[in-house]
Amino acid sequence: MKKIILFAIILSVFLLSCSSNEDCCPPEATTNNLIIKFKFDPTQERLNNLGQPEAIPAGNAAQSSTFARMSANYIEFAPTATTLLGEGEIIYNGTETTEGGEVAINFQAAQFAGNDAVFVTIPMNQVAAGTYNWVRVSLAYQEGSINLLQNGDDITGTLASFVGYNSYITSFDVNGSTFNINENKLQGFWAFEALGFTTQGQAPAGATTVPNPLFDSSPVPQGSCVVTGQFTNAFTITGNETQDVEVTLSFSVNNSFEWTEINADGKYEPSIGEQPVDMGLRGLIPSFSN
């Protein structure tokens, strides 16, 4: 009996000390996140493949699409201008498949985000500590509204652009209209809907602009749609963050939809054979806050 009473006293003392001792009963651990957001900016500088300002070529016209959503297949932080593609900190890799033959982005499993919306949230403990000056983003899909001239009327339509290196697509909807594909499509495949009218096509190979200011020191494969941008101030992850960190990827949509002109009026007229030639984004400026 004395042993039972002694044990009860010891247990009571232990529980009392544990209630006021964080080492004995530590608080539940919390995980901070790296939050990646998209932004689409029609006023951001319009760049070419080398990351230099570019005007609209003679014989073409362009407009700034109003993006509704976008998808990326790959995001990488790079420490320096000489860090080669794939040798930085890869924070996101989308799903790929060989269902259509060659390796391709699995469009049916893609993630999307709209303007000023979160694309992906990653636990901070899964991102390597380091100082990063550059971001690389392999874009996969863009969807937005564009203006066009149809039978003398100015109307608005929706353009879906597959800008990834290769996309396996079963089907997709644009404003309620279904496109059944069931095969791989290379970079530059597009579909369009306006007032119930639908059409689709393929931009010429290599026509999609992919700005890379590191073209000389860190090139990317043609057709990969890996857009590169530099942080204004170096982005450092210490590994000891106590709150979420938000990185905003601001993409230039400044005259990003470009077509060949038949009637030189600056208006897109698909009914007379004017064809899209470029749907690529025109620059990337990453920023961070915490």
Per residue in 224-267, pLDDT (tens digit) is 889 999 999 999 999 999 999 999 999 999 999 999 999 999 99
Is residue 7 pLDDT above 80, yes or no?
A: no
The pLDDT, as a whole number, for residue 9 is 41
Exposed, middle or buried: residue 143 (CB in 10 Å: 0-12, 13-18, 19+)?
A: buried
Contact assessment for residue 259 and residue 273, using Cβ atoms and an 8 Å cutoff: no
**Helix (H), strand (E) at residue 18:** helix 2-19
The model's confidence at residue 12, banded by pLDDT at 50, 70 and 90, is very low
Could you give the CA distance from residue 194 to residue 274 in angstroms, rounded to a whole number?
15
Average the pLDDT over 153-168 and give the result.
94
Is residue 18 pLDDT above 70, yes or no?
A: no
Average the pLDDT over 139-150 and give the result.
94
Select from 108, 220, 104 the least CA-distant residue to 166: 104
User: How many helices and strands (H and E) does the chain possess?
Assistant: 1, 18
The pLDDT, as a whole number, for residue 84 is 96
- Report the percent of the chain where pLDDT is more than 70: 90
The model's confidence at residue 17, banded by pLDDT at 50, 70 and 90, is very low
In the numeric block, which tokens belong to residue 261?
Answer: 């002109």
pTM, to two decimals? 0.86
Neighbours of 170 (CB within 10 A): 14
Pair type for strands 89-93 and 96-97: unpaired
- Report the percent of the chain where pLDDT is more than 90: 76
Pair type for strands 104-106 and 166-174: parallel
Hunting for tokens 């509204």 — which residue is that? 145
* Cβ-proximal residues to 242 (8 Å cutoff; 6+ apart), any chain: 32
Pair type for strands 33-41 and 117-123: antiparallel
Average the pLDDT over 129-142 and give the result.
97
Average pLDDT, the chain: 89
Hunting for tokens 């000891």 — which residue is that? 240
Pair type for strands 245-252 and 33-41: parallel
Instruction: For residue 109, give the 3-state DSSP assignment.
Output: helix
Is residue 11 pLDDT above 70, yes or no?
A: no
Average the pLDDT over 125-141 and give the result.
97
The model's confidence at residue 205, banded by pLDDT at 50, 70 and 90, is confident
Hunting for tokens 């203006």 — which residue is that? 147
Average the pLDDT over 18-32 and give the result.
53
- The DSSP code for 270 is G
